[in-house]
């Protein structure tokens, strides 16, 4: 059996996949990986990458550097300049990261979906009834980053960051198998709620929620200059005053995980954006309606 056939057999065996990625001491395994990934050893790093490639389609041809001192350096690698251009149209909100599109749709009511038949309350994800109400009438888009993908994420539009709320939690895997089995998974895992405004769209609200997962429980946000992780003591609510240009790097995960993008009313998905589609950072995700309605007009207050 060749490598790809073996890998596909493992990935498609849902019971085995769930057992090996979730029925383990998740937090302990995640802390161990955090320690292991920082070991400075080119030889160990090359061996680790070779093992990593047994389970993924890891492609480092776009990486700015081709040799790494640690596994963490590979996880958080930069790309060669110009490989992720952002759509310059001010009416377009772009994908903040490379990803596979997961559940997505309108925010109509109190719940959104993590997978078919598996809703979760938006207020529980955000830990705020007020924030959930502000996003009513908008859209949610779930972006899943696989472990082999580029792990940095960028501003999807010119924006101002007002507040970050760090929520410590569990480290369930966030692959489709787990999303079909673990209720309210995104509400259980470690995450950061990044509250933004879109000055170019009437100061309409936009919220990004990077969600950590098993083996990845560290989120770096550049403007905070701290590493948010399971042992970080807080404070949990961090006021900000950061402005970012469209496409500017916001931060990174230290492995692979999920970003939930909550956008205001008045934006519709561009053709082709649907569950299961692979997209890249900078690709158009949503567009302001052609009828001229402003994104901020119908937002809840």
Tens digit of pLDDT for each residue in 175-232? 777 788 788 888 988 888 999 999 999 999 999 999 987 665 577 888 987 666 656 6
151 is catalytic: no
Is pLDDT above 70 for 299? Answer: no
Is pLDDT above 70 for 10? Answer: no
pLDDT confidence of residue 58: 87
The Cα–Cα gap between 170 and 186 comes to 9
Q: What is the percentage of the chain residues whose pLDDT exceeds 70?
A: 80
Which burial class, exposed, middle or buried, applies to 126 when counting CB atoms under 10 A from its CB (0-12, 13-18, 19+)? buried
The Cα–Cα gap between 290 and 93 comes to 14
Is pLDDT above 80 for 15? Answer: no
The Cα–Cα gap between 114 and 213 comes to 14
Q: What is the percentage of the chain residues whose pLDDT exceeds 90?
A: 50
What are the angstrom distances between the C-alpha of 15 and each of 27, 95, 116?
Answer: 21, 32, 19
The Cα–Cα gap between 52 and 46 comes to 10
162 is catalytic: no
Which has the closest alpha carbon to 180: 57, 22, 55? Answer: 22
pLDDT confidence of residue 182: 81
pTM for the whole thing? 0.85
pLDDT confidence of residue 158: 97
Is pLDDT above 70 for 142? Answer: yes
Mean residue pLDDT across the chain: 83
Tens digit of pLDDT for each residue in 235-246? 588 899 999 999
Among the options 37, 73, 154, 255, which is catalytic? 154
Cα dihedral angle (218, 57, 183, 195), rounded to 10 degrees? 40
**What is the rounded average pLDDT of the residues 22-48?**
74
With bands split at pLDDT 50, 70 and 90, how would you rate the model's confidence at 3? Answer: low
With bands split at pLDDT 50, 70 and 90, how would you rate the model's confidence at 166? Answer: confident
Here the contacts of 59-66 (C-beta below 8 Å, separation 24 or greater) are 59/148, 62/150
Beta-carbon contacts of 196 under 8 Å, excluding residues fewer than 6 positions away, are: 159, 160, 161, 162, 205, 206, 207, 208
255 is catalytic: no
**Are 157 and 206 spatial neighbours (Cβ–Cβ below 8 Å)?**
yes
User: Which tokens is 139 given?
Assistant: 């859209």
User: Which tokens is 171 given?
Assistant: 């480290």
Among the options 95, 97, 218, 257, which is catalytic? 257
Instruction: Mean pLDDT check: name the lowest of 22-36, 149-163, 210-224, 258-272.
Output: 22-36
More confident residue, 140 or 147: 140
Is pLDDT above 70 for 42? Answer: yes
Cα dihedral angle (205, 185, 164, 88), rounded to 10 degrees? -50
Among the options 37, 98, 147, 151, which is catalytic? 98
């Amino acid at each position: 059996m060749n490598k790809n056939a073996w890998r596909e057999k493992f990935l498609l065996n849902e019971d085995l996949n769930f057992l090996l990625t979730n029925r383990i001491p998740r937090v302990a395994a995640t802390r161990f990986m955090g320690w292991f990934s920082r070991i400075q050893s080119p030889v160990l790093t090359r061996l680790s990458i070779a093992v990593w490639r047994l389970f993924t389609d890891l492609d480092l041809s776009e990486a700015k550097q081709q040799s790494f001192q640690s596994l963490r350096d590979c996880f958080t690698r930069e790309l060669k300049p110009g490989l992720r251009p952002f759509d310059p149209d001010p009416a377009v909100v772009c994908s903040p990261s490379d990803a596979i599109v997961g559940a997505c749709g309108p925010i109509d009511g109190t719940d959104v979906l993590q997978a078919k038949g598996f809703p979760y309350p938006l207020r529980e994800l955000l830990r705020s009834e007020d924030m959930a109400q502000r996003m009513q009438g908008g859209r949610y888009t779930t972006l899943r980053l696989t472990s082999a993908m580029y792990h940095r994420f960028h501003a999807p539009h010119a924006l101002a960051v007002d507040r970050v709320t760090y929520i410590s939690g569990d480290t369930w895997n966030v692959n489709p198998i787990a999303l079909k089995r673990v209720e309210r998974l995104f509400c259980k895992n470690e995450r950061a709620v990044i509250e933004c405004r879109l000055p170019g769209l009437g100061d309409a609200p936009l919220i990004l929620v990077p969600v950590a997962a098993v083996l990845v429980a560290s989120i770096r946000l550049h403007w905070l200059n701290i590493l948010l992780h399971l042992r970080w003591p807080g404070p949990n609510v961090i006021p900000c005053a950061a402005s970012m240009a469209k496409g500017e790097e916001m931060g990174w995960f230290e492995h692979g995980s999920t970003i939930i993008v909550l956008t205001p009313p008045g934006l519709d998905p561009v053709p082709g954006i649907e569950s299961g589609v692979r997209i890249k950072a900078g690709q158009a995700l949503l567009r302001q309606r052609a009828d001229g309605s402003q994104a901020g007009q119908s937002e809840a207050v």
